[in-house]
Structure 1
Amino acid sequence: MMWATLNDTKVLIVARQNGSIQFLSPENGTVLKEFKNKHVGLEKEQGRFVGVSIHNNHLCVCTSTGDLSYTPLDVDDVNETQSIAELGPDLEIMRAHPVKTNIFGIGGKERDLTLFDLDVLMKQKEEETTTAAETDMNPAGPHQNTSAHKKKNTKAKGMIFQAKNIQNDFLDLRQPVWIHDFQFVDKDATKIAVVTHYHQFRLYDTKKGRRPCINAEIGKNPLRALCLGTDLNHVVYSDTASTVGMIDIRTGKKAALFKGFTGSVTDVITVPQPTLDNDDKKGHSSEPVMVSVSLDRFLREHETTTVYRRMLNKAYLKQRLTCVLVDEEYEYPVPKVKTAEEEELEEEEAMWESMEVVKDRKRKHRS
């Protein structure tokens, strides 16, 4: 789920389990546009959506089976998204960089962090399409030379970074990999914070190497969600046992702990979010808050300015929500306070409107 702009109108993109991606109006919830993805559904061989992004007025969607699609938003007669790449199975998350939208990363079960350039993938797809068309027009047909050693290897095209697993443990056993979520924490897309199923927090710096700069264990439960904190030096995480905390990415240690949860938190977000296009900007508000939804059907709001991290608001939503999104540009209409003269004038108008209109009757003259 994410915000986007469609025909100069702000819309909400929702990816559903039945394979449809809907563009909804945030005002009344009407469906403005809808796309279908044949790789997502309830069948066994089908997967689920793991990431949605917008780049160059195109909708980029990735599924858990590794299908990456790229669909133009200005086309109304598209009923099904078209695949441009196969990234491999068992994916858990796909996320694009907020500023450099052409760069995105993937991760999952035994799928370590990998970054791609979407523009290179699109160029590769166009070249393959052109090559296939030229092959069909070749007079040699099926008798043309298809030797394997003459083919160019294009498997690594578009990949700009692939993480390397940490060193083996003290028994010389390989460490398992299972990424649940990650976030870009700088404007150059070189620093990435990752949380794993094995309660690990990792920070990668693509300029320094393929292995993580920081690898710390947080608690004893799988880490589920991750978001940017109140500034670019902190991230907020949640696990599967109703624990929500803040981590300092410079040290990999806990910086705060939020209380008051009775169910596993499925998604967290700080409001306002720090912007990546200016590292000196540590937020837009003097009092940032943390908003979360959990399996106990509650939406909670915590303050982040004091060491107590008190809960400010709590609302029961009747459903087990999996994602929370905040519109920072929306302004709640404040009701106008009426003066005594305005109230008196309204009462007088109401009194006159409540009176019945008497019809004129002609008087009968005596003869």
Structure 2
Amino acid sequence: MSFKDNFNVFVGGKSGIFKGVRVKEKSCVMKNIQNLVSITDDHQVSCMTWGDDDEKEILIGCGSKGVRSVKTYDTENHSFKTSFVCELGEGNITGIARYNGNILTAVQSGHIKLWRQKEKEEFLLNAGENLLRMRQAIQQKNVIATGGLENPLKLWDLNKKVNTFTAKNISHDWLQLRVPIGVADLCFLTNNKQVVTVGRYGHIRLYDTKAQRRPVVNLEMKEESLTTVSTCADDRQVVCGTGRGRMNLVDLRKTGKILNTYKGPVGAVTSVAVSKVDSCLVSTSFDRYLYIHDVESKKLLKKVYLTSKLSSMVMRSEFSLKEPEKEENAEDSCEEIFDGSGEEYSDNDDSEDDDEESS
């Protein structure tokens, strides 16, 4: 079996859990990868991303209260490779990436650092306070984008260590009041020149960094707080999640238009991803479920209970619910594997509201 056939989704939780999940039409297998004995209350997984284009490595940013750390997981050999403490700046790790063989991290205080293994020279950028998200460009790995609370979209060239683009806020509203900035998440489109941001004030904005500093498309979802965004197979569309448990398919052409709405989660949506080979929208929520919708029909195809409040997710680009071999008599089942790493685990923070919004 290829390493890509093992698990097709990996999730991280507020409690520090890290699980691999293999979801198919009639079966579901999950496994606790992180040793549960070593997990404490401050091991929250704050961000996850693939470390390479082959999807062999996962980069994980952990920690919320005390010590923050970075871990790398090898999906081919099924083991953690490295782990180190991220002691720069303050706040959660809000972005992580692989650049020139080293790991790049960003924290809420705005500090961005490339952790060199052999060289002593430090690589530091300051993206501004209240940084909520940092992401790397799809094609140009030397380009990153940042944004946050009253921290507008910025693009950075890692080779030159300079800020190459800073977004300009939209015009005042009809009452001539300043529109607040609250970038909760962002994503690059495949041409690397266009960036989509979503915000806690309900704004969906498309920026063409080669054309102008203000957004070329500005769409507002009133009374919604947007938490996450992901590209689709059609580069003119994105899917965004909200703090109320909804997801929307948005067309970015012309003035922008909401095409579909997907329902299911009862807690804030924390991650969304769309398969490149199948019409599947995969999402995680604070309500402890992994959801799979059909992008076109909006139908809920599958939902899997994962015992912990889910804060982050990575999905294989070739994700599909189709079984590799046809099993006519197979029954729909979901199985959890234990390999001595720990017993089945559930959060002990039930006093918190499951539908809390991501901030």
TM-score w.r.t. length of structure 1 = 0.69
Alignment check: 8 A CA contact 1:19 1:39 kept? no
CA contact (8 A) 2:59 2:97 kept: no
The correspondence for 1:226, drawn from 226, 229, 234, is 229
Pairwise CA distance, 1:199? 0.4
Which structure 2 residues correspond to residues 323-342 of structure 1 after superposition, within 5 A? Answer: 323-328=312-317
Equivalenced residue count is 275
1:288 aligned to 2:279? yes
Which residue identity is paired with 1:296? D
1:99 aligned to which of 134, 139, 152? 139
Task: Compare the two structures and name the one with the higher helix fraction.
Answer: 1
| Residues 97 and 184, structure 1, Cα contact 8 Å, conserved in 2 | yes
Letter in 2 for 1:313: K
| 1:252-267 to 2 correspondences below 5 Å | 252-267=256-271
Query: Distance between the aligned counterparts of 2:323 and 2:246, measured in 1?
Result: 35
Match for residue 160 of structure 1 among 153, 160, 164: 164
Q: Superposition RMSD on alpha carbons, in Å?
A: 2.6
Tell me the equivalent position of 2:99.
Answer: 55
Identify if the C-alpha distance between structure 1 residues 323 and 313 changes in structure 2 by more than 3 Å, giving closer, same or farther.
same
CA distance in 2, matches of 1:335, 1:200: 44
Question: C-alpha displacement at 1:30, in angstroms?
Answer: 3.0
Q: What letter is aligned with 1:20? A: S
1:295-310 paired onto structure 2 within 5 Å: 295-306=286-297, 309-310=298-299
Q: CA deviation digits over 1:308-352, x for unaligned, max 9?
A: x11111110000011121124689996799xxxxxxxxxxxxxxx
- Aligned residue identity for 2:171: Q
Q: Which residue of 2 aligns with 1:277?
A: none
After TM superposition, the structure 1 = structure 2 runs for residues 268-287 of structure 1, keeping only pairs within 5 Å, are 268-272=272-276, 285=277, 287=278
Deviations 1:12-56 (A, max 9, x none): 21111131101123367532111221136xxxxx21111111122
Q: 1 or 2, which has the higher strand percentage?
A: 2
How much does 1:295 deviate?
1.1
Contact conserved, 1:114 with 1:159, CA < 8 A, in 2? yes
Change (3 A) 1:320 1:84: same
The letter for the 1-side match of 2:184 is H
1:131-179 CA-to-partner distances (Å, cap 9, x unmatched) read xxxxxxxxxxxxxxxxxxxxxxxxxxx1111111111123322211111
Tell me the residue number matched to 1:128.
Answer: none
Three-state SS of the structure 2 residue aligned to 1:192 is strand
What is the distance in 1 between the residues matched to 2:193 and 2:58? 28
CA contact (8 A) 2:280 2:294 kept: yes
**Equivalent pair of 2:194/2:208 in contact (CA under 8 Å):** yes
Query: Which of 161, 186, 191 is the matching residue for 2:190?
Result: 186
Q: Quickly say closer, same or farther: Cα 1:267–1:336, change in 2 above 3 A.
A: closer
- Determine which of 207, 222, 225 is the counterpart of 2:210: 207
Q: CA offsets, 1:49-87, max 9 Å, x none? A: 1111112212111111111111236x5xx9x99452222
Gaps spanning 5+ residues in structure 1: where?
41-45, 122-157, 273-284, 338-367
Q: Distance in 2 between matches of 1:85 and 1:107?
A: 14
2:245 corresponds to which letter in structure 1?
Answer: S
Distance (whole Å) between structure 1 residues aligned to residue 77 and residue 56 of structure 2: 13
Question: Are the counterparts in 1 of residues 275 and 318 from structure 2 also a CA contact under 8 Å?
Answer: no
Q: 1:219 to 1:97 in 2, by over 3 A?
A: same
- Could you tell me which of 143, 151, 160 is aligned with 1:111? 151
- 8 Å CA contact retained: 1:37, 1:81: no
Aligned-pair identity in percent equals: 28
TM-score (norm 2): 0.71
Distance verdict in 2 for CA 1:214–1:328, change over 3 Å: closer
Tell me if the contact between 1:53 and 1:95 (Cα under 8 Å) persists in the aligned partners: yes
User: Which structure has the greater CA radius of gyration?
Assistant: 1
1:88 aligned counterpart, secondary structure = coil
Provide the secondary structure at the position in 2 that maps to 1:120. coil
SS at match of 1:207: coil
State the one-letter code of the partner of 2:262. Answer: F
The aligned counterpart of 2:38 is none
CA separation of 1:330 and 1:256: change in aligned 2, threshold 3 A: closer
Distance 1:81 1:49 in 2: 22
C-alpha contact (below 8 Å) 1:36/1:81 kept by paired residues = no
- Shift in Å, 1:246: 0.5
Name the CA distance, whole Å, in 1 between partners of 2:170 and 2:305: 42
Counterpart code for 1:161:
F
* Secondary structure of the corresponding residue to residue 91 of structure 2: coil
TM superposition shift of 1:5: 4.6
Give the structure 2 partner of residue 196 of structure 1. Answer: 199
- For 2:79, the aligned partner's letter is T
